Chains A and B, each alone.
Chain A
Amino acid sequence: MNVLLDHLSEFREGFLGTIGLTLASGLLAMLLGTVLAGFRVSPVPPLRYFGTAWVTLFRNTPLTLLFLVIWFAVPQVLDFGFSPWVKALIVLSCYTSSFVCEAVRSGISTVPLGQAEAARSIGMSFFQTLGLVILPQAVRTVLPPLSSIFIALTKNSAIAGAFSVTELFGWQKLLSDQGYPIAWVFLWVALGYLVITFAISILFRVLERTLEVAR
């Protein structure tokens, strides 16, 4: 108990850091993932290949390796001078976007064929069909997998803590380095993550219920 009270400000900082990183990279991953899903269903072969390559690459590479790449290999080639937080944001959103892309793509395939046919028959273009008819419906069916992707993202952000970004894992590391009993530290960190993941679960449940479509 004392562990938490003595280091409350650092804990709060770590907690908010986890939330901030998750939110920012979640939004970026959604954007990137939707664009990639658009690529993967487009009639343009090079874009399809690009999407496939992106998804295959990022889904089959360990996240820790991607962190190593942006921390050590990228600065040797192109030094943007990004802060650790921005680097973590880039890695997490690129990694997560591949999962979002697959979720959105499978969502697109759940929209009945007749909907797309109807859209085309009234003269809608590819982008209109995708943007006005297919995607709004697909988004609703992909909410459950998206919620799991965001929960996974929250948990993945712990790796950023190991690369010295301020978040909850960093707090655990700091305190166990200072010799505090690991069981208590673990308990508080675990609770912190549980709060965030439960919040995401509940948020998506509510969204699901409000956006539900009869089909």
Chain B
Amino acid sequence: MSASVLYDAPGPKARTRNRIYTVVGTLAVAGLIAFVVMQLASKDQFATAKWDIFNYANVRVAIRDGILTTLKVFAAAGALSLVLGVVLAVARYSEHRPIRWFATGFIELFRAIPLLITIYALWVLFLTYKSDLGVVGQNNSFWALVIGLTVYNSSVQAEVLRAGFQAVPRGQVEAAYALGLRKYQVMTMLLLPQAIRSMLPTIISQLVVTLKDTSLGYIITYAELLYAARKLANNTLVEGEYPYVPVLIVTGTIYVLMCLALSGLANWIERRGRRAKTGIKVAAAAEPVGEGGLMDAADLPGGAGHGSAAAEPVERPASDDRSEGPGSPRS
């Protein structure tokens, strides 16, 4: 347990004290839960009629459709943002100054503006030019949501990848050029695979953010899960009351489960990556922290800030790792 930094193995006195704290803490937490439950019960929120609505087929279909549209937006925005993120990250490494400047400007601008503002502006824009836009005009709220999510998340993903590029030891790039590889070969064979591998947990954590942010579609009245939930609660009158509490509890649980599944994947990849002996340092499965205008890659996990630490395992010959284990053939 990491908390052991703060306290010793408790002696008899501390054990008694901790037991008292535990009892008090349990009572406090249990009291809080009991208060919430009693309040809910006293307002009749546990009435069977209120929860019975989930037995109706149309309610289930509405929730299922909400989940499906949410996943649709997430799939589109997630895939597009990964593609655009790679393009932007590579563009930042371009030898042509205008391309580099454009990519930097794009990333800095869209990371600093609230996503909701971007989505709303796009939505109004698409609504205004509805007839000229063809397919996009028909699904204006879908595309506003997807494109808004894409530009924001691709900017973040690009920065994550850039940190991944910087974690690759400089000597590898020099060696690749010395071998006569071209720029695009260095990028596709050396930098990108290693950057993606080391940053995969962070990339997936950012996808969790993308998934959560699909709920902004609610504000531009796009029919994703949250909008479906609101509509459901608003259109069903149970005993003279709108069933907001049960509907939001169920919807919230669905969101939490979806996000937990995705971040579970990120954690699994992080653990797996740490075990692997490829010498590529795997970043922590946390959301990228660097945001706003004045950010440099040193803020990111596994970024240049940890440069020497990241480079170190690569230079160590793999046989060293093996000789450490008592059961290895060498020893």
Contact = CB atoms under 8 A, between A and B. Distances in A.
A159 B226 contact: no
A186 B256 contact: no
B265 interface: no
Contacts of B21: 42-44, 47
B219 A159 contact: yes
19 contacts: A44-B25, A64-B215, A65-B215, A65-B226, A65-B252, A65-B255, A76-B43, A126-B6, A126-B7, A145-B289, A148-B295, A159-B216, A172-B121, A176-B120, A176-B124, A182-B125, A186-B121, A190-B109, A197-B291
Interface in A111-127: 111, 113, 116, 120, 126
Interface in B253-299: 255-256, 259-260, 263, 286, 289-295, 299
Interface string B106-143: 00010011111100110011001000000000000000
Contacts of A152: 291
A130 B3 CA distance: 11
Contacts of B121: 172, 176, 182-183, 185-186
B248 to A, nearest CB: 5
A81 interface: no
Nearest to A185: B121
A151 interface: yes
A200 B260 CA distance: 31
Contacts of A78: 39
A47 B113 CA distance: 37
Interface stretch (A3-11, A66-74, A82-90): A66-74
Nearest to A134: B6
Nearest to B262: A60
Interface residues of B, number: 63
A108 B292 contact: no
Interface of B: 2-3, 5-8, 10, 18, 21-22, 25-26, 28-29, 39-40, 43, 45, 109, 112-117, 120-121, 124-125, 128, 208, 212-216, 218-219, 226, 229-230, 233, 241-242, 244-245, 248, 251-252, 255-256, 259-260, 263, 286, 289-295, 299
A112 to B, nearest CB: 9
Contacts of B22: 44-46
Given A65-B226, A76-B43, A205 B6 contact: no
Contact of A69 (B28, B112, B252, B256): B252
A169 B214 CA distance: 18
Interface residues of A, number: 71
A80 to B, nearest CB: 12
B230 A201 contact: no
A73 B245 contact: yes
Contacts of A15: none
Given A44-B25, A64-B215, A64-B216, A73 B248 contact: yes
Interface string A120-151: 10000010011000100000000011011001
